[in-house]
Amino acid sequence: MGKGGRAVGVEEAISPVERAPSSRPPFTVGDLKRAIPPHCFKRSIPRSFSYLIFDLVIISIAVYCTKFFVYDGLLNWAVWIAYWVVTGCVATGVWVIAHECGHHAFSDYQWLDDTVGLIFHSLLLVPYFSWKYSHRRHHSNTGSVEKDEVFVPKVKEEFGGIGRYLQHPPGRLIQIIVTLTMGWPMYLIWNVSGRKYDRPASHFNTHSPIFVDRERFFVFISDISLLAVAGLLYKLYSAFGLAYLINMYAIPLLIVNGFLVLITYLQHTHAALPHYDSREWDWLRGALATMDRDYGILNHVMHHITDTHVAHHLFSTMPHYHASEATEAIKPILGKYYQMDRTPVPLALWREFRECVYVESENQDGVLWYKNKVE
């Protein structure tokens, strides 16, 4: 319901919010850090492991229960669907913890973070070190239309091709389905939606332009780890068959990948958020050009990667279990520079695909905003 109790239509309910400030903020990173209680920056090995172990216990129980499932009958398929939803959501939480390892937010020991991250990202078919390096550069260049690494928007001059013919409801639906199902592997393999390089880029190629020389050995380690997991999956297939492997592992993994793309897309795609070219970009303004979102109970299941992303971009080594407190501490300083959109996620996803087609500068000032007018 809107003001005065009147009903709110779908188009009105998903209309863009007021634009975020794009000028240089009147505060510094130091001001924000001083506002956060010091304990929020402390990493605890027992506490970090407690979240990981809790997630793994839930997943293990769910997997054990699959031995009692069968493949016919409506009731049994309903049980399988419940299994997919539970394991997919909880495994996304495991993905988030491994992602924190890549940020050195799990413990005070880099070797421990990399060991945990490598194991659990590999089990989810993520090349840990490869993605760690590219994701680190995303954090270093957020909001830059020239150097950001993920969901880099097209500038108006680049917009065209098949995308021009998909700017209608059926076309948007096709884009959403492809993005949520194939977006993650397409990014890893071909760097789709990533930064443009002078030659083909892939997270699996040790000589990819994404990486510098000192990183290439660890990219190789990531590839070997994924081959080891592929061997384990082949053993599962040999022992239990393809149908079981798809239901037990592949479908939950598809849900994890879908959530990963959904969360990342909605954090960095919003008509209220500015982007910058090299004339205007600086790290703090780029870090603030991100959007917190509300996923309800999934905020907790996914360890608040959803609703504390602004704080995460400002202080990426902070553990997830302190991020909510830190967010509340910096809100008074951020003021209008803090962005939170509580639009229901399905409506928000549809709106962003409708409104955020390309970016352009309105005054040739180096600040670019999302547009959707197709000429």
pLDDT tens digits along 27-62? 999 999 999 999 999 999 999 999 999 999 999 999
d(CA 152, CA 142): 9
Q: How many residues comprise the chain? A: 375
pLDDT score at 71: 65
pLDDT score at 364: 83
Tokens standing for residue 287: 């870090």
Higher pLDDT, 354 or 16: 354
Q: What percent of the chain has pLDDT over 90?
A: 87
pLDDT score at 17: 60
The DSSP line for 306-360 is TT-HHHHHH-TTS-GGGHHHHHHHHHHHHGGG--EE-S-HHHHHHHHHHH-SEEE
Distances (CA, A) of 101 to 47, 96, 98, 141: 14, 9, 5, 20
At 363, the pLDDT band (50, 70, 90 cuts) reads confident
At position 110, the amino acid (one-letter code) is Q
The whole-model pTM stands at 0.93
d(CA 200, CA 203): 10
Q: Please state the rounded mean pLDDT for residues 182-210.
A: 96
d(CA 280, CA 294): 30
Positive or negative: CA dihedral 132, 263, 341, 16: positive
Report pLDDT digits (tens) over 116-165.
999 999 999 999 999 999 999 999 999 999 999 999 999 998 888 888 89
Report pLDDT digits (tens) over 283-297.
999 999 999 999 999
Mean pLDDT, the chain, rounded, equals 93
Tokens standing for residue 325: 């407190």
Q: Is the pLDDT of residue 3 over 80?
A: no
At 13, the pLDDT band (50, 70, 90 cuts) reads very low
Report pLDDT digits (tens) over 166-176.
999 999 999 99
